[in-house]
Amino acid sequence: MTTIAIPGGANPEIREAITKAKQKFGSKIDFTIYDVEDNGAGDYHFVACSPETVISTAVKSVATGEAQILMKGIVQTHDLLKEVLKKEYDLRQQKLLSHVAMIHLPQMDRPILLTDSGMNIAPDVEQLVQIADNAITTAQKIGIEEPKVALLSSAEIFNPKMPSSVLAKEVTEQMQDRRATVYGPLSLDLALSKEAVAHKHFTGPIAGDADVLVVPTIDTGNVLYKSLLLFGQAVMGGTIVGTKVPIVLTSRSDSAESKLLSLEFAMKQLGGEEHE
């Protein structure tokens, strides 16, 4: 049995996601909502908290092992992440925590991972290496054994005046020994579109077949994420990784389908550690 702790979960959108998740996973999962008051009903446990302790009580429940996944309800992302980062919980597994989104697009025959469009604001080279490493680990946990990791920039030709190009080149140089192909700078079309690759006669270790997109800043990632959601018919979900437990980040505007995908993504990351 996997228990999912949800701070700020007492609202209709989260209750709908819980109902759908219960239909999908049955008795394999169990939910505990942490909130000030519960004004609905559903198949979950409820823990009443003061407004100041909603987040901390839920985070404590994953730190003590009572719950195995933390899922954001209607609380501020920044406040939740600041709580998770507190040393007293000992939740960090890697030096740097990062956000990985899983994207399903009707145009693609495979899921694409996108990082970091949710946590690290403007990573330096060392941080981007860790972000890419976290994504490789996540990809491998969900069954992509040797992921192709594209470091995005505006163009594939190195430009020393373009910060994302410089970042991508340095990260590529530092990550040649991984069980993955890490390559950049690369533009989005060359990372994902075989037609663009053919049209531009591009040859390289990643040519339209990327599994993971690494963006240079949170702003690039957030704009890409929301464009795909608004205009690309994408269904996507995301988690914070590098922690001892997956942390599902959903936003209020996510569809119930996206919330469910986020949860499935987190469950897959638990893999063999899934609690019976």
Each residue 100-139 as x (binds ligand COD by CB under 6 A) or -, in order, gives ------------------xxxx------------------
CB-count exposure of residue 211 (10 Å: 0-12, 13-18, 19+): buried
CB-count exposure of residue 264 (10 Å: 0-12, 13-18, 19+): middle
Minimum CB separation of residue 73 from ligand COD in Å reads 15
Minimum CB separation of residue 220 from ligand COD in Å reads 11
The verdict on 41 binding ligand COD (CB under 6 A) reads no
Q: Which is nearer to ligand COD, 62 or 206 (CB)?
A: 62
The verdict on 253 binding ligand COD (CB under 6 A) reads no
The verdict on 78 binding ligand COD (CB under 6 A) reads yes
Q: Which of 82, 194, 199, 252 binds ligand COD (CB under 6 A)?
A: 82
Q: Which of 159, 174, 222, 255 binds ligand COD (CB under 6 A)?
A: 222
Residue labelled with tokens 């990351």? 269
Minimum CB separation of residue 250 from ligand COD in Å reads 11
User: How far, in Å, CA of 147 to CA of 97, rounded?
Assistant: 20
Answer whether the bond into residue 116 is a cis peptide, omega within 30°: yes
User: How far, in Å, CA of 19 to CA of 38, rounded?
Assistant: 16
- Long-range pairs for 76-85 at CB < 8 Å and ≥24 separation? 77/118, 77/249, 77/251, 79/55, 80/7, 80/55, 80/247, 80/249, 81/119, 81/240, 83/55, 83/56, 83/59, 84/59, 84/240, 84/243, 84/247
Which residues 158-187 are close enough to bind ligand COD by CB under 6 A? none
Residue 64, token pair as written in the block = 């003590």
Minimum CB separation of residue 95 from ligand COD in Å reads 7
User: How far, in Å, CA of 153 to CA of 165, rounded?
Assistant: 6
Site size with ligand COD, rule: CB under 6 A: 13
The stretch among 4-12, 22-30, 81-89, 193-201 that binds ligand COD (CB under 6 A) is 81-89
Residue 168, token pair as written in the block = 């991508």
Q: Which is nearer to ligand COD, 77 or 255 (CB)?
A: 77
Minimum CB separation of residue 187 from ligand COD in Å reads 22
Q: Which of 36, 85, 144, 188 binds ligand COD (CB under 6 A)?
A: 85
Residue 263, token pair as written in the block = 């949860």
Binding site for ligand COD (CB under 6 A): 77-78, 81-82, 85, 96-97, 118-121, 218, 222
